[in-house]
Amino acid sequence: MEGYVIGVDVGTGSARAGVFDGRGAMLASARRDIAMHRPSGDIAEQSSAQIWDAVCAAVAEAVGAAGIDPTSVRGIGFDATCSLVVAGDLPGGVGDDAHPERDIIVWMDHRAKDQAARINAGDHAVLAYVGGRISPEMETPKLLWLRENRPAVYAAARHFFDLTDFLTWKATGSAARSICTVTCKWTYLAHEGRWDAAYLRAIGLGDLADEGFSRIGTEVVTPGTPLGAGLTAEAAAAMGLRPGTAVAAGLIDAHAGGIGTVAAAGDPVDSLGYVFGTSSCTMTTTRDPAFVPGVWGPYFSAMVPGMWLNEGGQSVAGAAIDQLIRMHPAHGEALDRAAGRSLPEWLADQAGDAARAVEDAGHLHVVPEFLGNRAPFADPQARAVVMGQGMDAGIASLIRLYVAGLCGLGYGLRQIIETQADHGAPVRRIAISGGAGRHPLIRQLLADATGLPVDCAECDEPVLLGAAMLGAVASGGYPDLARAMPAMSRVARTHDPATGRTRALHEARFAAFVTLQDTARQIRARMP
């Protein structure tokens, strides 16, 4: 493929852009931070205007840093968190009349827990495609909360977008939705090509059906589909690109990481995409639908076109580790010694060899479910457990806690993998991406904790790469994603799981993890 493509990734705290050549090599990238309003643990809001400005600035800087002619950029692809954007001339924000600029309910926002519980109490056929239970992180509970608690804002909205679809709308003027977003987070039935009007009416959102679904999407297309006439003149000017540059229907950020990694080692069915960031997502591709309790999906064509996807994950992963180490009395001293470096990465350096680190963790165990269990139990009320912490307040104790927390994430991942295998969605290896999983110690501990090899992509930014692949397809550089994926991604290194004593130690620790998890659930059930 001649020319260049751009991948844009909007995560929880930043917007990033990367410039790639046709083989998937990244020439340059740029980043802009984005703000979040978070007055409580359940509430998280952002501004779509600020995010769009950050995206445009990141793209312009990345193109400049790459030193390429902007007219040689053939296509651009977007991915983003699965946050709800309320677009229109709003009388107030999604949570506060005084802040109309806060028009996004962020993916991690749990204000709609009661609405999700009410939806789950009904016998709705569409729930079979979200693991049997809908999450408050998905969009229909959030829309219901908005209608019940912010009726004027709800009524004034012209569009309800997943963040990815908002970005492509801003870029092109096309209101087409990606199969990825509406199938995975909105209950669109992609395998039947329809919304379920009966479901929307039953849960209290019948007006969306009565309007002909105009506010949630009447045109739904596969990721990589070229949208509109490409970049509008206004969007192109803001990004420093050529008007008409091809823009692809996008992906949720985790799914972009999957696209950027799961075909690097061969058949995408063999690899579980593990996107390890603030939260974690697991992406499992199957040729036939697999219904897995507590795991979202099966979703048709939501990641790899023509195949089915099961999506699990942990509501907090990188954020759980941050929370865990902040609780330790040596946190401040460690920050000083890290001298501006990422504290988790500094701790990983101090921990050294993975086998020795898990030995040193001793009887310290962590179930890091600070924000519930997304999969495989679909239990948003679950909370973290730490067992074995003594009075030691030094750096060595903090390192042990950090390692125990990473092991806990690995054991939670193992539960997802084993549950999926029991229901027809087995995998043979893990393809890791995401900023929180870059350190070799982390990758090795995940391999040891799960018992599966962990592949690391050649590209340091596989989420950006996945988004860029969309731009490559939209521009005609590749005929489809099935061709673009293996052509633009490769495995750089594989971490094989431990054997012998280290393997036995992880088996014992996994059994302890399950016991603590079960005990916490029993205690919660007994409390009045």
Question: What is each CA distance from 259 to 71, 265, 271, 411, 486, in whole angstroms?
Answer: 26, 12, 11, 24, 10
180: DSSP letter: H
Which tokens sit at 105?
């309910």
Q: Where exactly does CATH 1.20.58.2240 map onto the chain?
A: 318-416+499-526
In the prediction, which pLDDT does 191 show?
A: 95
In the prediction, which pLDDT does 125 show?
A: 95
Which tokens sit at 242?
């050529």
H or E segment and range at residue 310: strand 308-314
Cβ-contact 173, 232 below 8 angstroms: yes
User: pLDDT at residue 315 above 90?
Assistant: no
Cβ-contact 273, 456 below 8 angstroms: no
The per-residue b/e assignment along 138-157, b for 16 or more CB within 10 angstroms, e otherwise, is: bbbbbbbbbbeebeebbebb
In the prediction, which pLDDT does 421 show?
A: 97
Helices within 423-461 (DSSP H only):
440-450
In the prediction, which pLDDT does 344 show?
A: 96
pLDDT grade, residue 527 (50/70/90)?
very high
pLDDT in tens, 153-195: 999 999 999 999 999 999 999 999 999 999 999 999 999 999 9
- Arithmetic mean of pLDDT, 13-40: 96
> Whole-prediction pTM value?
0.87
Q: E-assigned strands of 395-515?
A: 429-433, 454-457, 491-495
Cα–Cα distance between 129 and 127 in angstroms, integer?
Answer: 5
pLDDT in tens, 94-122: 999 999 999 999 999 999 999 999 999 99
In the prediction, which pLDDT does 139 show?
A: 98
H or E segment and range at residue 284: strand 280-286
What's the N-to-C CA distance of the chain in angstroms? Answer: 63
DSSP code string of 191-259: TTTB--HHHHHHHT-HHHHHTTTTTT-S-EE-TT-B-TTSS-HHHHHHHT--TT-EEB--EEHHHHHHH
pLDDT in tens, 296-310: 899 999 999 899 999
CA angle 249-253-259, nearest 5°? 75
Q: Mean of the per-residue pLDDT values for the chain?
A: 96
Cβ-contact 427, 417 below 8 angstroms: yes
pLDDT in tens, 389-447: 999 999 999 999 999 999 999 999 999 999 999 999 999 999 998 888 889 999 999 99
Between 434 and 318, the more confident residue is 318
Q: At which residue do the structure tokens 């390429």 appear? A: 68
Question: What is each CA distance from 102 to 84, 106, 162, 325, in whole angstroms?
Answer: 11, 10, 15, 30
4-252, superfamily in CATH?
ATPase, nucleotide binding domain (3.30.420.40)
DSSP code string of 38-71: -SSSS--EE-HHHHHHHHHHHHHHHHHHHT--GG
Between 358 and 374, the more confident residue is 358
Between 265 and 302, the more confident residue is 302
Instruction: Find residue 454's DSSP bridge partners.
Output: 430, 495
In the prediction, which pLDDT does 41 show?
A: 83
Q: Which of 57, 49, 108 is nearest to 81 (CA)?
A: 108
User: pLDDT at residue 265 above 90?
Assistant: no
User: pLDDT at residue 460 above 90?
Assistant: no
Phi, psi values for residue 114, rounded to 5°:
-65, -40
Q: Where exactly does CATH 3.30.420.40 map onto the chain?
A: 4-252
User: pLDDT at residue 147 above 90?
Assistant: yes
* CATH code for the domain defined by 318-416+499-526: 1.20.58.2240
Which tokens sit at 123?
């016998």
Residue 309's contacts (CB-CB under 8 Å, 6 or more residues apart) are 184, 255, 283, 284, 285, 286, 297, 298, 299, 300, 302, 303
In the prediction, which pLDDT does 123 show?
A: 84
